Amino acid sequence: MKSVAIWSRLLSTATFLFALPAFATLPVEQDLLIPLELRPGVTADIHAQVLVNPDHPNGGRTFVMLHGLAHTGDTFRPLAEAVFADQKLDASRAVLLNLPGHDGSSLPQGILFGALTLDDYVATLTGSLDALLALGFRTDVLVGHSMGGELIELAQNELIADGTSLRARFDVEDVVLLAPSIPNPLSWSLADNGTGAAVLANFLTMDPILGPHISIPAPSWQGLFFTNSKGKLVPGAPSVAEIVARGYIAPEPLLASQQLLGAGEFARPTVSAGIFAPSHGSDACVLAFSEDLFILVDEERPHYRYLTGDPQDQHFVVVTRSGAVHDMLVSDPHAVAIAMRTCSK
């Protein structure tokens, strides 16, 4: 178990801002704004960035990517570049989704931002996939990081309950879950022992426009997501200035955050066993990171088996190195892209 002392060091992280360095970006083929109804009387416009592989713009697969808590779609840009560079992944496009109130997505209309729940986020995901399909963007590979991975699981659980699935409705061939947060009935120590709720409580912010929400300052965000078990920032971690310049951070609604961790009035959401069994059509892969302070490898392994029914761990990948932290998709995206090869047919 990771030392509680590490969390104390993370919360006291302090870094000064100096000049903002240049950030080389991939070409944006399209900048989409998708109007969605999240629940009766609640709407939002969802920002999706469509990136094109300049070396393989046609004929390859489309990767749709969903970010985690307090992140934006821009946190996937380093990984998108690494995926494009890896010919074995056969990627022509990457679509970076942003949840409501994140990056260029609008705040919800009809409720305060702080009142959004994971159910609204699931509606955002399925509604966005529907809209992308109508625009001609088939989702060949659906990728979720952290909370985004669990949202994919919740969407699949809901679709199966309705008699369909990600494969049947959207033709999703592969699902890649990067350090996905863990639903009930599985154990997740960060949530179950109250550590996660205690950490987020440090960043609780009240605002008359947004409502109650989580707002993590850039120095703390850097420390939380790029610190390994020795309490050291890993090589490749973005500076505080880069985190700000690249737009990696977003506020998170209080209710969605509590629901994810089973805090406040919420229990953690539940998914059924076998939702990614072969009979449901989409091949699911889970990547776990050896230095992840949020979800341990020994928690992700039973998570994978519960989702897939695969006792052989054929598509369970552990990335083991000193830099294998929760946000390795930013700090070492090429290593993550290589690990993703196991997820492909």
- Return the pLDDT at 342: 86
pLDDT tens digits along 189-225: 999 999 999 999 999 999 999 999 999 999 999 999 9
pLDDT tens digits along 125-141: 999 999 999 999 999 99
Structure tokens at 238: 């973005």
- Return the pLDDT at 142: 98
**Predicted confidence band of residue 16 (pLDDT cuts 50, 70, 90):** very low
In which element (H, E) is residue 166 found? Answer: helix 166-170
Structure tokens at 342: 């196991």
Total-model pTM: 0.92
Structure tokens at 42: 């609640």
- Return the pLDDT at 345: 55
Question: Is residue 281 scored above 90 in pLDDT?
Answer: yes
b/e map 130-153, b = 16+ CB within 10 Å: ebbeeeebebbbbbbbbbbbbbbb
Candidates 96, 91, 94; CA nearest to 55 is 91
**Predicted confidence band of residue 26 (pLDDT cuts 50, 70, 90):** low
> How distant, in Å, are the alpha carbons of 246, 269, 298 from that of 76?
11, 25, 25
pLDDT tens digits along 225-257: 999 999 999 999 999 999 999 999 999 999 999
Mean pLDDT computed over 97-118 = 97
> What is the overall mean pLDDT for the chain?
92
Question: Is residue 5 scored above 90 in pLDDT?
Answer: no
Structure tokens at 152: 């994919």
**Predicted confidence band of residue 27 (pLDDT cuts 50, 70, 90):** low
Mean pLDDT computed over 54-82 = 96
Encode 96-158 in three state secondary structure.
EECCCCCCCCCCCECCCHHHCCHHHHHHHHHHHHHHHHHCCCCCCEEEEECHHHHHHHHHHHH
- Return the pLDDT at 149: 98
Mean pLDDT computed over 94-117 = 97
**Predicted confidence band of residue 30 (pLDDT cuts 50, 70, 90):** confident
Q: Which domains does the chain have, with CATH numbers?
A: 4-343 (3.40.50.1820)
- Return the pLDDT at 8: 41
Candidates 318, 330, 340, 148; CA nearest to 234 is 330
pLDDT tens digits along 144-187: 999 999 999 999 999 999 999 999 999 999 999 999 999 999 99
- Return the pLDDT at 29: 79
